[in-house]
Chain A
Amino acid sequence: MSAAELARDGPTLHGPELAARLERSWSRDPGLLGWLATVDHKEIGRRYLVTAFVFLALAGVLALAMRVQLARPDQNIIGAARYNEIFTMHGTTMMFLFAVPVMDAVAIYLIPLMLGTRATSFARLNAFSYYVYLAGGMLLWIAFVLNVGPDVGWFAYVPLSGPEYGVGKRADIWAQMVTFTEVAALSVAVVLTATILKQRAPGMSLDRMPLFAWAILVTSLMVIFSMPSVALASGMLLSDRLVGTQFYNPTENGDALLWQHLFWFFGHPEVYIIFLPAVGFVSEITATFCRRPVFAYPVMVMAVVAIGLLAFGLWVHHMFATGLPRVGYSFYTAASMAVAIPTGIQIFCWITTMWLGRPRFDVPFLYVVAFIVTFVIGGLTGVMVASVPLDLQLHDSYFIVAHFHYVLIGGAVFPLLGAITYWYPKVTGRLMSERLGKLSFWLLFGSFQLTFFPMHLSGMLGMPRRVYTYPAGLGLELPNFLSSIGAFIVALAFVLFIANVFLSLRRGAIAGPNPWKAGGLEWATSSPPPPYNFAHVPSVGSATPLWDGPLKWMSGLRVDEKEMLLTTVVSARPDLREPVPEPSIWPFISALALTVMFVSSIFSPWAVLFGLVPLGVALIAWFWPKQLEPTAEPVIE
């Protein structure tokens, strides 16, 4: 007898009694075991966020080390070998351990709240993903500390990373770290896709879904389609290195370019996997601080979908210098340029929202303005490098370093910092300091330009990427010096931002449920939300329900067990009542077993076989079916 077939004629609870009963059903067990076993998306989201910011700080320190080394020509503060490790770690950490997970973090926390549901789908898989991600990050950084960190670049081109030239275990650690983050990212993508498609509040049809949810849906689908490519690539690399296959070895009819195709088929969508969640942040913040929904909602949605599709058709623009047929290049030029169309549409719609509304210049909105001013530069230099003749000069030079930092910091980190300031009161119950927030904002905005704008010039003056020094007399002294100065001010701005986060935990003004008077469902519950998110299921009739009349609530879910409501995919009509998994230690133990298997398989292929045993045991325990004891009189809300 399944939960959905249970009779629902038990007592109905109200008010404090209801809250207490829900609290009892949903709160986690005390102690370390409870902490490890929790499946609450808010706790997992917070852990993801904190971990991702720790990795940001670590990778940021590496960036400072590089800028010290490059501050003046012909310096040898950091040796060549160490420098190569440092830029590899910086890129790998930023891309795999910060940028993608931090977007997952925000989505894991917010998506159920925005959709008006009590949990994510596959709550245990969600918990599992966090531990796998943490293990992958620790593998990479412990290896770095032990001086066996990877030194082959975040792209790990073969044959440099192959068995012949990438000696030792450095490249294996890189490739296995990628495996960890893929498992984590794919798990989260599945969790988010299912949550968004099946758990929206009744009435939240696809065309009433918050733009952030649209962005996350498309992002998750992109993860599902792109990550297998790099999984294949890194798996083949590991097998070349460990068991003597020859996938990438040209002398045995393998092919060095195969790696680049597989890697960039993932690597380019990766950029949009980082950028699209930021599109969601910007849309939500713009709407709230301009006091109206984003202009042309259907067009915005189509633009997000279009970016998701186009992202898969332009990986070859990373390979214009590899000597592939030039006629083929033209297609990728056109496809790369075409991305400017949906992006341009989005920029227009946000600015039009500002035009039609009444902007309020709080810190989150300042980040949106900075995003537009900065990101558009990165987008336009992107148009330049889509052109084959221009790219052949600019490719792999510091111009590209400038370009993608404009895109990734301007396009994703600025919106992220705005988003953190914006949703901070929801998570903590308090507002961040506006004064400190403005100070760090202006410091960051200015120093970012100082750091990265000169890199356009150093690239055009012939400075290639990934060099640990440069000769005097090429005109590279001034731009590099400015970049180095700027980098330290960027670091200072981040320190102030983080200080604000910590200080406001105690000193910030009490926020209340909806401090910004926003229109989304996440603002309909208390700040911070209770473990069950909502005491009753909200029912919505528009995309901004809190702005469109009093919210309607539905009841009927059990409160003596964890239960949530599933709705239909397109029109979000109530569909099923679904039990939510109880907390379990097995996802943690499974992640541990997986870690043992992955790490030891760096050293011996047999580890894959023997490692399956503990993993299998843990997974069986995790999925062991439980007999639901039918309750005669279930308690309902």
Chain B
Amino acid sequence: MNTVQSVFGGQGAEGAQFLSLMTLFTVVTTIIYLLVLAYLALALWRRRRTEHTVESGDHAAEPPPQRTALIGWVALVNTGLIVLTVASFLTDRAMARTASSPALEIEIIGHQWWWDVKYTGADPSQSLETANELHLPVGVPAHITLKSADVIHSFWVPNLAGKQDLIPGRQTDISIKPTRTGLFRSQCAEFCGVQHTHMALDVTVENRADFLRWYRAGLQPAKAPTAPLAKAGYAYVMTRQCAMCHNITGTEAGSHFGPDLTHLASRRSIAAGTLPMNRGNLYGWVADPQANKPGSKMPTLGLEPNELHAVVAYLETLK
């Protein structure tokens, strides 16, 4: 059983509450189901001393015991439903409380088909923008504002919490309090177009020190490349199509149409979870995005081999 994308994970404050509510529902509904099956089996295969059929001549009979049983059954079903409704309501309230007084403000903007992630502090110089990855410190309630740049998406980290849609023209939000560290996977849960499938978000829950280290590193601009090949790649990225869409902080590439690439090489995956991050996949992706993610907004540029080597070499420096 996987532990990176599962509602059974329970690594968020909500996860544990979800699990206990799910258990209650499963127990109650299973009992009801078994009762139905038992009654059905008995009704079908019991030995009959008396029957009320056309052939026996009293098919209109509705004996009092069955009438009483019907009332009992309705009472039982009602009781079960009331228990479940109240439990559901109380859990919902408890979930809303667990992540109150957030210590971290994050804004996530859904795009076809990637996630723009912004850590918005009170001090603008401490604001961090990244893409397709979400780092959270364990035990700290995070408040995430959700927006969409185009169509409806849905934010869902099953290990940590339930879903929340990102709706154009509206602003929604979700609060998450991770309780255990780990690496998780999240995936857009509302059909959002041709590459809905490849719109994943890598979630990292880490201890406070690791989170701060990552955060500080993220605030740094990209380092200028030193190796000749990477320099050539840098020149290509700055002067050709790449800079039209992507931002690399510390360089002239400042567009926000596509995902931020400032620390691309430090991420776990390429193109919103389409490929795991490694050199081979970087080659594959840069050479032909449309083969890896057909319909993606990133065109296949048709780089010459020497250009491809150079661009990948440069991207690998973006740690």
Residues of A within 8 A of B (CB): 79-81, 84, 151, 153, 157, 159-160, 164-165, 250-251, 254-257, 290-293, 295-296, 299, 321-323, 326, 329-330, 333-334, 337-338, 340-341, 344-345, 347-349, 351-352, 354-359, 369, 372-373, 376-377, 380-381, 383-384, 386-397, 460-462, 464-471, 473-475, 517, 519, 544, 547
CB pair B43–A351 under 8 Å, yes or no, is yes
Kindly provide the distance from the CB of A110 to the nearest chain B CB, expressed in whole angstroms: 21
Neighbouring B residues of A468 by C-beta, 8 Å: 197
Known contacts A357-B51, A460-B7: A389-B21 contact under CB 8 Å = yes
Known: A160-B152, A388-B88. 8 other contacts (CB 8 A): A159-B150, A257-B170, A341-B74, A369-B40, A376-B36, A460-B6, A464-B188, A464-B189
Q: Which of B53-61, B133-141, B233-241, B281-289 contacts A (4 or more CB under 8 A)?
A: B53-61
Task: Report the separation of the CA atoms of residues A344 and B89 in the bound assembly, to the nearest whole angstrom.
Answer: 22
Neighbouring A residues of B190 by C-beta, 8 Å: 157, 321, 396
Mask: chain B, 64-76; 1 = CB below 8 Å from A; 0 = not: 0011011001100
Kindly provide the distance from the CB of B118 to the nearest chain A CB, expressed in whole angstroms: 19
Kindly provide the distance from the CB of B48 to the nearest chain A CB, expressed in whole angstroms: 6
CB pair B66–A352 under 8 Å, yes or no, is yes
CB pair B151–A323 under 8 Å, yes or no, is no
In the assembled complex, B102 has its CB within 8 A of some CB on chain A:
no
CB-contact partner of B66 in A290, A355, A390, under 8 A: A355
What residue in chain B is nearest A347 (Cβ atoms)? B36
CB pair B29–A80 under 8 Å, yes or no, is no
CB-contact partner of A390 in B25, B54, B96, under 8 A: B25
Q: Which of B22-63 contact A (CB under 8 A)?
A: 22, 25-26, 29, 32-33, 36-37, 39-40, 42-44, 46, 48, 51-55, 59-63
CB pair B22–A390 under 8 Å, yes or no, is yes
Neighbouring B residues of A291 by C-beta, 8 Å: 51, 53-55, 59
Kindly provide the distance from the CB of A493 to the nearest chain B CB, expressed in whole angstroms: 22
Task: Report the separation of the CA atoms of residues A397 and B1 in the bound assembly, to the nearest whole angstrom.
Answer: 17
Known contacts A326-B92, A341-B77, A373-B37: A390-B21 contact under CB 8 Å = yes
Task: Report the separation of the CA atoms of residues A341 and B112 in the bound assembly, to the nearest whole angstrom.
Answer: 42
CB pair A345–B70 under 8 Å, yes or no, is yes
Neighbouring A residues of B25 by C-beta, 8 Å: 383-384, 387, 390
Q: Which of B141-183 contact A (CB under 8 A)?
A: 150-152, 154, 156, 158, 161-165, 167-170, 172-173
Neighbouring B residues of A475 by C-beta, 8 Å: 1-2, 6
Known contacts A80-B197, A322-B167, A354-B43: A293-B85 contact under CB 8 Å = no
DSSP majority for the A interface? helix
What residue in chain B is nearest A160 (Cβ atoms)? B151
Mask: chain B, 174-205; 1 = CB below 8 Å from A; 0 = not: 00000000000101111111111100000000
CB pair A81–B43 under 8 Å, yes or no, is no
User: Can you name 13 A-B pairs with beta carbons within 8 Å?
Assistant: A157-B151, A256-B170, A351-B43, A354-B43, A356-B61, A372-B36, A376-B33, A388-B88, A389-B162, A394-B7, A396-B156, A461-B2, A465-B189
In the assembled complex, B215 has its CB within 8 A of some CB on chain A:
no
Known contacts A256-B167, A256-B168: A160-B193 contact under CB 8 Å = yes
Task: Report the separation of the CA atoms of residues A499 and B168 in the bound assembly, to the nearest whole angstrom.
Answer: 50
